[in-house]
Structures are given as C-alpha cells and as structure tokens.
Homo-oligomer: A and B are copies of this chain.
Amino acid sequence: MDNFTFHNPVKLFFGKNQLAALPGELSAYGKKVLLLYGGGSTKQNGIYDAIMEELRKVNAETEEISGIEPNPKLSTVRQAVEHCKQEGVDFLLAVGGGSVIDAAKAIAIGAKADADIWDIITKKEKPTDALPFGTVVTIASAGSEMNASSVITNWETNEKQGWSSPLTYPKFSILDPTFTYSVPKEQTAFGIVDIMAHVLENYFHHTSNTPVQDGLCESMLRNLVETGPRLLEEPDHYQYRETVMLNSVLARNGMINIGYKGDWGTHDLEHAVSAIHDIPHAGGIAILFPNWMEHVLDKQNAARFKQLAVRVFDISPEGKKDVDVALEGIAELRKFWNHLGAPEKLADYGITANHVEAIADKSVAAKPEYGKFKILNRQDSMEILKASL
C-alpha cells in the first residue's frame, strides 16, 4: 500500500425512520436553517413534509432554495451564497442526491468567504471557513453525503470542476432507504451504474498488497450486480434499496481506497462530455467506462481485469488467455449496464463524430494528461470517444 491519511468525521444515520435524529443533531447549530433541494419530487413524495415536521420540533426558522439542478450550476451556487450572506443563515440542510449536496458544499464555503466561490473551486483562493451543513439523502448514487468532494459546472466557461476541502464534510447525513422508493426506474438504474463506476474507478490501480480493499470492492460490485435487476422489478423492496444505498456511501467515503489511489480517468472524460452536452452523468459513464477498459487493457495489466471478470462476473478463466478473460468481463459489464437500461452509445444523446474534437480538447484543457492506472492524453480521449459513438 501507499502511505495514507484517513479522516472522515461525517456522522451517518442509516435506516428506517432515521429522520428522527434530525432535531437532536440540529441542536448544536443556530436556528436559521436553509433547506436546499432540487425539483418537486421532494414535495410530492412526502419527504419535504416529514423534514418540516422535524424542523418545527426545534423551532427552526426555515428558509428554502429549490430548483438545484442535476450537474449543479455555479450561477445557482452564487445566488444561494448571496442569500446566506444577506440573511445570516446558520445551517444548510441539503435534501436530495449528489447534485444538491455538491451544491451545498460550495454554498457552505461561499457563504463564509470574501472571495468568489469559483475562485475557491478552481484553487485560486483558499477556503478558510464554512457554514455547517447536513444532508438528507433521497437518491442513492453519488455518495456525496459522506465525503468532502463536490462537482460544480460553470456554464459561462463550459467547465465542470471537481474540488474538495477538509471544510466540506457534512456534519451528519441521514439515509433512509424508504426515501428512495419513489426514485424513477431510469434514475435508480443510473444510480447503480454510478456507484459501480465509483468502485471501478478505485479498483483499477497498480499498488501492491491491497487484497482487503480488493475483496471489499468485489463484494460491493457482486452485491450490486445481484441486487440491481431485482430492485428495478420491485422498487419498493426495502432490502434492495438498502443494498444500493449502503453501497453508494461505501463507494465514496474513502474506505475502499485506503492505501492507494484509483484511476478516475473515465470520470474526467465524462466531465468533459457533460461540460459541453448536458447529459446525465451516469449515462455518460455507462457509455465511456467499458470503452475506457478496452482502450487501456494490455498484456501487462490484464490480470487486474481478469480478477474482476472472475470474481465479480463469474467468468471461468479455464484454458483462456488473461486478455480474453478480461474482454469477457468487460462485455459482461456493458451487457449488465445496458440490461439495466443505461445507454451504450453517445449517439443516444445526439453526440456525433462532429462533437468529438471539442470534447477531446476539453478533456485536456486543464492539464495535458489525466488518469492514473494508465495515463491518457488527447489522442486517447479521441480514441475512447470514437469507440463510444
């Protein structure tokens, strides 16, 4: 393993009726709570009312900003920051999935900063303080609720920027699998793709002596492969929702990758795609990841792909070359994601050969190379994108 520092102070409440923990947790902070959420589903499915009931128990002065979009926008963050500064908000409560929580992280920092939040996100300025914030998770996907990471999109410059700070850990996160019952089929499937992709981004590395981390990653992937199709058949099944929600947190709370760093090249490339074309993140990932795998696979690294194929997809390695076992595994992954309903080609989002150059440019706009398991450049982006058309 490599040396590592692990510090994740998020307090997690997981299970049925865990919203009851909200009043107790809020008592450590001030009265003025700004609720952040996305579309109307939070109101339709009753979660909004349930949260308001808990907030009334501590006599919270509640304000709200709704309409936080998927791939949350810098402009939305800036508006919320202004609101926090003007109104003297004490605490942010993010209700939703990765997008709302990612926005909350930026708003929390921005509300306590003199600098513009984009300058902090792009590391021109350093954050010094943050509003405290908590989360109530309503979709299992990003796992943003138990880490400090955030992705914000600046549509003025077509940049989608990942960033983090030790100040952007939620104080607490409440995860009730029943809150995800009403997530539509397509978003549920995309959540599963996203979680698996987070595990896979970590799984591809060259660091030695990580059998425990490998075993954890493989258990998670198997668990999702088994549970995913069942959940799409029975969206109100508690254990299936529980499984997906648990894996979403574990995939991104830093435990599966202690002692090594994952690749994350496919995420970088997908961010380049969706910085130009506003497509669902997991849709882009489902298309690009198997093509990334086929692109980087070679004789030297085939053992890693083979291990995945054998241990997660039960491919028999008997009498086969490593590379062939690896390719079977990649095919199984693609088939599994497509079976869940995820797209296979960029054309499904109207992205064609005409768009490839611009996306490839974007993928290396910030730095000429990306990825870690295999370091990629603009030419690699071009090849992966063309294979994905």
Contacts and interface: CB of A to CB of B under 8 A. Distances in A.
Interface string A1-43: 1111111111111111110010000000000000000000000
A17 to B, nearest CB: 8
Interface stretch (A44-52, A217-225, A271-279): A217-225
Contacts of A259: 14-15, 246
Contact of A219 (B7, B209, B216): B216
A239 B226 CA distance: 34
Nearest to A239: B209
A212 B250 contact: yes
A319 interface: no
A247 interface: yes
Given A215-B216, A220-B212, A239-B209, A3 B14 contact: yes
A258 B18 CA distance: 15
Nearest to A14: B4
Contact of A16 (B3, B9, B10): B3
Given A212-B223, A242-B1, A11 B16 contact: no
A22 to B, nearest CB: 13
A129 interface: no
Given A6-B12, A14-B258, A215-B215, 8 more contacts: A3-B14, A4-B14, A4-B15, A5-B21, A6-B14, A7-B11, A209-B243, A246-B258
B215 A219 contact: yes
A115 interface: no
18 contacts: A3-B15, A3-B18, A4-B15, A5-B12, A5-B13, A6-B12, A9-B9, A15-B259, A211-B219, A212-B216, A212-B219, A212-B247, A215-B218, A215-B219, A215-B223, A216-B219, A219-B219, A255-B255
Given A3-B16, A16-B3, A246 B212 contact: yes
Contacts of A246: 1, 212, 258-259
A209 B242 contact: yes
A90 interface: no
Nearest to A5: B13
A21 B222 CA distance: 38
Interface in A212-267: 212, 214-216, 218-220, 222-223, 226, 239, 242-243, 246-247, 250, 255, 258-259
